Chains A and B, each alone.
Chain A
Amino acid sequence: GAVVSQHPSRVICKSGTSVKIECRSLDFQATTMFWYRQFPKQSLMLMATSNEGSKATYEQGVEKDKFLINHASLTLSTLTVTSAHPEDSSFYICSVRGPNLPGELFFGEGSRLTVL
């Protein structure tokens, strides 16, 4: 399988500031990474697909200027929540498509963002 690491696991910030979350694929090169958002007691909502060396593909309803995604290398994708507001408080999870089977994803441990 693939090992995926996210950092930070928890972050608290003031309203109006920007927060960057990193997602690393530790043991294999990932051309595609996915960013999900999970609200309390709800399912995962795909926010965007991060493609190495090109622009991310955002799902309908996700503001690309609000959630900046950069996939600069085959092992790192970053999600930056710009001008954060309390409603952006959530659990953000990245995942990497496994090297073997279509649809098999390996997930990071998630990053809990709290905006005061």
Chain B
Amino acid sequence: AQRVTQPEKLLSVFKGAPVELKCNYSYSGSPELFWYVQYSRQRLQLLLRHISRESIKGFTADLNKGETSFHLKKPFAQEEDSAMYYCALSSPAGNMLTFGGGTRLMVKP
């Protein structure tokens, strides 16, 4: 069974501080990992995917198969980064997306 765990429900940092949102997964195979973000009063949207190895809005995430982790990082948080962040896992076939519990990031001025 596939499972995604985000240990922190809330993460509060000051503007300019580094941010790391933790995500651990359980999957017997080679998963596809994603981070989705939901800004206030907006719909859920894709932030980044591990296969692209890209940086979006300053965020990066590296898949660590040894630690089964896919932590989301940003060196300098901005107030507009405040949102709910969901880590998600999909099988390579993409038949089903499993979400973690979500982490609310609050960036204080």
Contacts and interface: CB of A to CB of B under 8 A. Distances in A.
A75 to B, nearest CB: 18
Interface in B53-92: 86, 88, 90-92
A44 B44 contact: yes
B94 A102 contact: yes
Interface of A: 34, 41-44, 46, 49, 93, 95, 97, 101-110
Contacts of A107: 43-45
Given A46-B96, A102-B32, A103-B90, 17 more contacts: A41-B9, A42-B102, A43-B86, A43-B101, A43-B102, A44-B44, A44-B86, A46-B98, A101-B51, A101-B94, A103-B34, A104-B34, A105-B46, A106-B45, A106-B46, A107-B44, A107-B45
A43 B32 contact: no
A46 B97 CA distance: 8
Contacts, number: 52
Q: How large is the interface on B (under 10, 10 to 19, 20 to 34, 35 or more residues)?
A: 20 to 34
18 contacts: A43-B86, A43-B100, A43-B102, A46-B97, A46-B98, A49-B96, A93-B44, A95-B44, A101-B94, A102-B93, A103-B34, A103-B49, A105-B97, A106-B45, A106-B46, A107-B45, A108-B43, A110-B43
